[in-house]
Amino acid sequence: MKTWKIALLGLGTVGSGVMTILHTHATRIEKQAGVKFEVVGVLVRDVKKPRRVKVKRELLTTEIETIWEKNPEIVIDAMGGISPALGYIEQAIERKCHVVSANKEMIAAYGTHLHRLADKNGVSLLYEASVGGGIPILNALSQLLKANRITRVYGILNGTTNYILTKMEEEGLTYQEALEQAQEFGFAEADPTADVEGYDAFNKIQIIANLCFGPDTPVLEQEREGIASITGEEMKVCEKLAYRIKLLASAERTDAGCCLRVVPTLVPYAHPLSGVKNECNGVFITGDVVGDVSFTGKGAGALPTGSAIVEDMLNIVRGWTFTPDKEGLMREDVEQSTGVEKVVLAFFTFSKQTNDSQKIRLISFLSGGEGFLHAVETVSSGSEVHVAAVISNPDVYALKALADDLQAELKLRPVLDERLSAAREDAAVLVK
């Protein structure tokens, strides 16, 4: 039975999960794959640091050259960050090592470069763990790309923000209270910026877009907004409208390129993503042949992420690698639009001292021809009144101008609700 020599770069949460699985599932792996995996070296910052998992002292080193002296066949990047990880992975590929990475920041920024380097050296590059933890999103996409042209991928890609929003809704916590609870339970870092400002989710959706649409497809639009501005009043008004707020990441093929977004979005109770709560992730994939495919599960943690890495190791044994879509844009893309209708929630915040004439002007505006009005709800809190309107095809500039004129704060949130298109069409038929 062949034994594959493994080098592990990093022994934190992810690296410990990999070592645990290789210890506890060694017999199963041998039976299923017909191979053995032997860890021949582990790169760490401090060899004396207490570990979550038992590792032989002689395997630990702080020097990358010691790792190369072991002649590994597969190198696992469980370090995170770009420096020094990128340099180590470049060296590994040039040494003809296959690479498995959980490093979302590096793959988002340098994935195209690393793919070209891997192709040049005839080795595999796999990074399932960089996006969905234990959810096999990238492997599913990689298989679907053989028969489908992926047109859209969207979902919840960050467990920290999903946990915070769940606690704000279900327990009435403020954003700060929910964040502190997430930190206490280990779902958020001491510095939560990458999660709560949307950087983590944006890296993940960028990796997905590069795989689905190819690195040469132009990015026409990109938007990133985190969850720090979401308030309890927004949660309450969304509840009245039968929506939940989720931080959704989306990559969509359009007429001439692709659009990438990570923004707080209203999701109807009827949509499966509405029920994805706490630290779980959920992703929808749309292909031109298969239609919609969905995945849910734990998107982080030592064992789920470690599981994704070990599965990638097994896929390397099978001779697999990720291959970004090479078609790019085709003629049918230029001639055919996705047809997705823009729907927003316009959330106005007024002082309770606002006079009736200003409120009447707002209602008159919303009832007028500036988009198609689906629903309006209000909530009060302290010295403020909040008016929320769900509108299709709104005149955003007119909404902002009105808010300025009325001295009201305005937030615009996208709405993920395909039912509204049908409602508008039905209304148009009645008018005729």
Exposed e or buried b for every residue in 393-409, given b needs 16+ CB within 10 A? ebebeebeebbeebebe
The residue among 272, 296, 396 whose CA lies nearest residue 346 is 396
Residue 127 has a CB neighbour count (10 Å cut-off) of 25
Backbone φ, ψ for residue 140 (5° rounding):
-65, -45
d(CA 30, CA 192): 39
Q: List, in sequence order, the alpha helices (H) in 226-355.
A: 232-240, 302-317, 331-335
- DSSP-derived secondary structure letter, 283: E
Distance of CA 164 to the CA centre of its chain: 15
- Indicate which residue of 204, 236, 246, 411 is catalytic: 204
The residue among 76, 95, 74, 55 whose CA lies nearest residue 2 is 74
Q: Respond yes or no: is residue 352 known to be catalytic.
A: no
Residue pair 272/282 in contact (Cβ under 8 Å)? The answer is yes
- Which tokens go with 170? 């279900």
How distant, in Å, are the alpha carbons of 156, 201, 220, 222, 407 from that of 150?
A: 18, 19, 17, 18, 44
- Which tokens go with 352? 């309770």
Residue 276 has a CB neighbour count (10 Å cut-off) of 24
d(CA 200, CA 262): 10
The residue among 46, 91, 98 whose CA lies nearest residue 68 is 91
Strand order in the sheet with 343-351: 372-381, 384-392, 343-351, 409-414
- Which tokens go with 177? 């209270």
Residues with a known catalytic role: 204
